[in-house]
Chain A
């Protein structure tokens, strides 16, 4: 048959498309990583350190090995290959060797017939620890004994920092940082440790292939980089390790680092049986990296007319025990420290240190959340100092195409900061609701603790921005493979392979939309996401996956279509099968000494968002109810408007969580609230309606002009919620999450 003539296809770019995985998910049939099973399967369990810092004198497995149902008990000596791994630097032992550096570090592995047998056997492993003084104060860490004496992150094009425990330090010097303005505002801000708290716990199934290799079915964000970390530790060739995406119950950055991949594979290879591992919630809290806690010192200098003349900021991030993606977070925090404003002079220092606190790495917003909170608080205070409307102050400084960022990079693509500010400010704010009223609509809600006497209303505003795609010279690419063939009815059909991780954000829908649009076909199926049949897709992070997957699938589809046209027709049994690799515009590193660009750009593109928040706060009880949120977000082009607003609403909720309740608490490095009882997440009672206005200003270099949409709402919402709280309480509120005590002023 000949190639199909152009015809109307539903589910194309720009349409609202219901998720293809929606049916299986609502029926409970979608197979998440924790739902998998295999014949003869064993259960794996990890023994973890009860200390934040200790030397391991010895490990005695004798008692554990005699427990019922036990098939294997493994320690560092059983790691077949490289003993350490890491996302960017291999500084983390697969299993602790002679020292543990954080609470919950993996020490030993057990495989048993039943998970409870595995847990009980793990309790019988005798580890002789010698507790050491933990490094827990990020400010003092640079004077204490090094946790990693070999300084694994130094010498990679980063600034050489001779101080102990520095993961990375970057200084951005722009213009003349000594310029004075008419006014100066300075403040110190703190951000607590936030957890991704994805609902699907870390899980997976490792299945030996009988020939020395392994198949790992796991919930992850980047299949190929998992494989490249797993294979050397197992002493296997990459092709002997096949990583397959199992259903992912949310990610938000927390699945960039490995969890069960090497551990499960070790147990499976050792026992010759499939091994399943599922973390409990408590284990999940210690088993993945978190958002970096930060302390930020900021000084904003401006003229009477509100124009910023100089921003000076020092950012200190606590990276915890291992590097993870801390080096990139450190520089991202610096890049976005000034907010989406044109500032001619700046001095930004951003430093991340190793400590014995919980390891930190990627979480939605990636460094920009912390600095946005500080910078926007400064902007509010500046507005008050100058008696200017906060929205007007922001408009006067709004970054625009052609402007130069503190890194020296000129904005060449879309940057509609003024537009998102104006559109957000134009959203109608609801009128205050009269008292008395149903207590469910008062701060404290179902707790029924107030009649509303002490309630004060406040309206806040904030703007934030962040990079899209990987930066600083990273070779960022995505592969897609397209097969065209005739289906059973003789109709042209397509199968798309792309290893892009579907973590809930809806990238599989985007892939199908792009393929239908480009091929003008209804019959598009997606092959399983795996390392086995297609090249790397890169990570489902940095708001890049939709852009990169769309780019790759578009390229592959266009090539397949051209091939089809060349051939004229496909016969029964014929097929076209080709793979293409998409790269975005190249970036280059920042100069290690000046923080200035060394080529045209360090970042590919940017997305911004403005948000207005209305809160009611009971200033006597310290309770808060967020009443309403309105936001305008720069989305480039909305490929699926329903999915885009879903990302905005969900991302906003996570920022609200950091503003009001979410914090991992530690005592001498030990996590004290590793449960959903003690680590609070926003519930249906905490989330107000969110009005989203999508600003479509196409990004010139991106497929269809799209921008990633996942992170900007999380970047801006913490700042916006606290801005409203300040308006309601009159207090400075320099720390998130804001605690009831802070509101009451205790």
Chain B
């Protein structure tokens, strides 16, 4: 089937088959591989995107469900060459190692700071508990969130 959706501010169309996830459609159909595929079971958050402004795991949303809706992926966050403050904070804080968790965490962090501009440590932990990182042990991810909150 053919779906049309707004991705990162652009009207896009894609051919998808019935069982295809939004994640697969973004990565393989729409040329946006930034959202990652670490589990495809809703357990790791590496595929986090905003669907009509709401944080979701793209692997758990059917591509067909996104028809007519608006999606923001990690590719839609930077302003041209200018990194989003959350992206900049992840780089500066050393919160990126292999980086496979990073796109999902960047989207989840931006979502957190949009809701709670100055989160407590407990709020950060809870908000990011659905995003697994295997490399960093999270310490520098918390630093990045605090840094991004401070510069906003």
A residues within 8 Å of B by Cβ?
A: 16, 18-19, 21-23, 25-32, 34-35, 37, 114, 116, 196-201, 247-252, 278, 280-281, 438, 440-441, 446, 503-506, 642-643, 645-646, 649-654, 675-677, 681-685, 687, 689-690
Min C-beta distance of A506 to chain B, whole Å:
7
Are A26 and B106 CB-contacts (below 8 A) given A249-B38, A684-B129?
yes
Q: Is the CB of B98 within 8 A of A249?
A: yes
- Are A18 and B91 in contact, CB atoms less than 8 angstroms apart? yes
Known contacts A440-B126, A675-B41: A506-B75 contact under CB 8 Å:
no
Binding site secondary structure of chain A:
loop
Q: How far is the CA of A379 from the CA of B48 in the complex (A)?
A: 45
* B132 close to A681 (CB less than 8 A): yes
Chain A min CB distance to B138 (Å): 5
Residue of chain A at shortest CB distance from B128: A684
Distance in Å: Cβ of A704 to nearest Cβ of chain B: 20
For the complex, what is the distance from the CA of A30 to the CA of B122, rounded to whole Å?
31
Q: Which residue of A16, A28, A196, A441 contacts B34 across the interface (Cβ within 8 Å)?
A: A28
Closest to A641 in B: B94
Binding site for A on B (CB under 8 A): 17, 19, 27-28, 32-41, 43-44, 46, 73-75, 77-78, 83, 87-88, 90-92, 94, 96-103, 106, 122, 124-126, 128-142
B97 lies within 8 A of A504 (CB): yes
Shortest CB–CB separation between residue B22 and chain A, in angstroms? Answer: 15
Q: Which of B28, B96, B125, B133 neighbours the largest number of chain A CB atoms within 10 Å of its CB?
A: B96
Could you name 16 residue pairs across A and B whose Cβ atoms are closer than 8 Å?
Answer: A18-B94, A25-B103, A26-B88, A27-B34, A27-B78, A28-B33, A196-B134, A199-B98, A250-B134, A252-B134, A441-B122, A642-B140, A643-B94, A649-B136, A650-B136, A690-B139
Nearest B residue to A689 via CB reads B139
Min distance, Cβ B37 to any Cβ of chain A, angstroms? 6
- A250–B75 contact, CB under 8 A? no
A200 to B75, CA, bound (A): 18
Q: How far is the CB of B120 from chain A (nearest CB, A)?
A: 9
B140 contacts A649, C-beta separation under 8 Å: yes
**Pair B99/A504 contact, Cβ less than 8 Å:** yes
Tell me whether B134 and A687 are in contact (CB under 8 A).
no
Q: Which residues of B contact A250 (CB under 8 A)?
A: 97-98, 100, 134-135
User: B96's contact among A26, A201, A446, A677, by CB below 8 Å, is which?
Assistant: A26
Is A18 a contact of B92 with CB atoms below 8 Å? Answer: yes
Question: What A residues does B27 contact at CB under 8 A?
Answer: 35
Taking the closest CB of chain A, its distance from the CB of B39, in whole angstroms, is: 4
Q: How far is the CB of A291 from chain B (nearest CB, A)?
A: 14
State the main secondary structure of chain B at its contact with A.
Answer: loop
B94 nearest CB neighbor, chain A only: A642
Q: Which residues of B contact A280 (CB under 8 A)?
A: 40
**A27-B78, A199-B36 given as contacts; is B100 within 8 A of A652 (CB)?**
no
Is the Cβ of A676 less than 8 Å from the Cβ of B41? yes
Q: Of B17, B33, B128, B132, which contacts A35 at CB under 8 A?
A: B33
Taking a contact as CB atoms under 8 Å apart, the answer to whether B96 and A25 are in contact is yes
Q: Is the CB of B138 within 8 A of A281?
A: no
In the assembled complex, the CB of B83 is this many whole angstroms from the nearest CB of chain A, namely: 7
Most buried by B among A27, A505, A649, A684: A684
Contacting pair B98 A687 (CB below 8 A)? no
Q: In the assembly, what is the distance between CA of A81 and CA of B35, in Å?
A: 38
Question: Which B residues are in CB contact (< 8 Å) with A29?
Answer: 34, 75
Q: A26-B102, A32-B100, A446-B126 are in contact. Are A676 and B132 (CB under 8 A)?
A: yes
Q: How far is the CB of B15 from chain A (nearest CB, A)?
A: 11
Compute how far the CA of A53 lies from the CA of B135 in the bound complex, rounded to whole angstroms.
34
CA distance A438 to B126 in the complex (A): 12
Contacts A649-B136, A649-B140 given; indicate if A200 touches B41 (C-beta within 8 A): no
* Distance between Cα atoms of A651 and B90 in the complex (Å): 19
By the criterion CB–CB under 8 Å, are B129 and A281 in contact? no
Closest to B31 in A: A37
Contact A684 B131 (CB under 8 A): yes
Q: Which of chain B's residues has its CB closest to A22's CB?
A: B91
Distance A645 CA – B137 CA, assembled complex (angstroms): 10
Task: Determine the distance from Cα of A446 to Cα of B132 in the docked complex, in whole angstroms.
Answer: 16
A652 touches B137 (CB 8 A): yes
* Chain A residue, CB-CB nearest to B98: A504
Closest to A32 in B: B100
Given A19-B91, A649-B136, decide whether A201 and B38 contact each other with a Cβ distance below 8 A: yes
Min C-beta distance of A663 to chain B, whole Å: 16
User: Which of B19, B37, B92, B141 is close to A278, meaning CB atoms less than 8 Å apart?
Assistant: B37
Contact residue among B75, B90, B125 (Cβ-Cβ distance under 8 Å from A684): B125
Per CB-CB distance, the 4 closest pairs between chain A and chain B, nearest first, are: A28-B34, A504-B98, A25-B99, A249-B100
Cα of A687 to Cα of B134 in the assembled complex, Å: 12
Whether A23 lies near B36 (C-beta < 8 A) is: no
Name the one of A26, A281, A650, A681 contacting B97, with C-beta atoms under 8 angstroms. A650
A281 to B23, CA, bound (A): 15
Given known pairs A26-B96, A446-B126, the reply for A199 and B78 (CB within 8 Å) is no
A116 near B17: Cβ-Cβ < 8 Å: yes
- A116-B19, A504-B135 known; A646 and B94 CB under 8 Å? yes
Q: How far is the CA of A18 from the CA of B90 in the complex (A)?
A: 10
Shortest Cβ distance from B103 into chain A, in angstroms?
4
Complex Cα distance, B46 from A35, in Å, reads 14
Known interface pairs A23-B83, A27-B78, A28-B35. Does A281 touch B40 (Cβ–Cβ under 8 Å)? yes
